Amino acid sequence: MTWAATALLPLPALLIGDAGPDVNLACVYLGLSCAWLAARFFERAGATESRRAWCATLVANSLAVGMNVALFVALAKLVGAKSTFPLGPKAILAALPAVGMIPWLIARVREPFATIVIAAILMLLAKLAGCALARAVYGPRFIEDGYVAGDWRSAKLMIASFWVIASGLSLAFLIAAYLSANADDHTNVSSA
């Protein structure tokens, strides 16, 4: 039931209004819905599971998130949604924190809603870091000149730095979650 709800959540944003800004909004909804799905997966799995069980949960979550991304991209293509950044990679990057950040955060916070809020705040901070970089590189008129717009053609530095930071955080959190999973995959039987 959770998968169906998370798969459908971002779709209405694709069906309303002008396709350009709504693709961005729909990608935000996609990321949030995938984070919700991942939080539910890892909340049910528990924090004390073995690495083998943790990896199985990660694979199942990744497949479910991947199906959500595929459904999102297919519907976007079906309705003719346009994006200045290729839609497939944009959707994958929007869902990436759900696979990378959420497993570690849910093990620490243990509350799905709070986990999603913390991940969203981290993504906001990554976006602000991209904006700060654009300000440092392009000067005080960076907003008026469009260097922090949602358009890939004019804001490549800000958008690219945001995705690099977000992907790096996701990878770091994923590695931390893997390392913190219980390494005891089997019990040692000693002979007497």
Dihedral sign for Cα 44, 47, 51, 55, please.
Answer: positive
Residues 6+ apart with CB under 8 A from 184: 50
The pLDDT, as a whole number, for residue 82 is: 80
SS3 50: strand
- Would you tell me the crossing angle of helices 51-79 and 87-100 to the nearest 10 degrees? 150
CA distance 64 to 2: 10
The pLDDT, as a whole number, for residue 49 is: 67
DSSP for residue 117: H
The model's pTM is 0.84
| Whether the Cβ atoms of residue 31 and residue 98 lie closer than 8 Å to each other | yes
Q: Which two tokens stand for residue 132?
A: 């700060």
Q: What is the pLDDT along the chain (192 residues), one digit of tens a residue?
A: 677 777 777 777 777 755 555 688 888 889 999 999 999 888 877 655 688 888 999 999 999 999 999 999 998 888 888 888 888 999 999 999 999 999 999 989 989 999 999 999 999 999 999 999 999 999 999 989 888 887 788 889 999 999 999 999 999 999 999 998 876 544 433 333
The pLDDT, as a whole number, for residue 17 is: 54
The pLDDT, as a whole number, for residue 18 is: 57
The closest of 116, 91, 103, 90 to 59, measured between CA atoms, is: 103
DSSP for residue 147: T
Q: Which two tokens stand for residue 97?
A: 């924190």
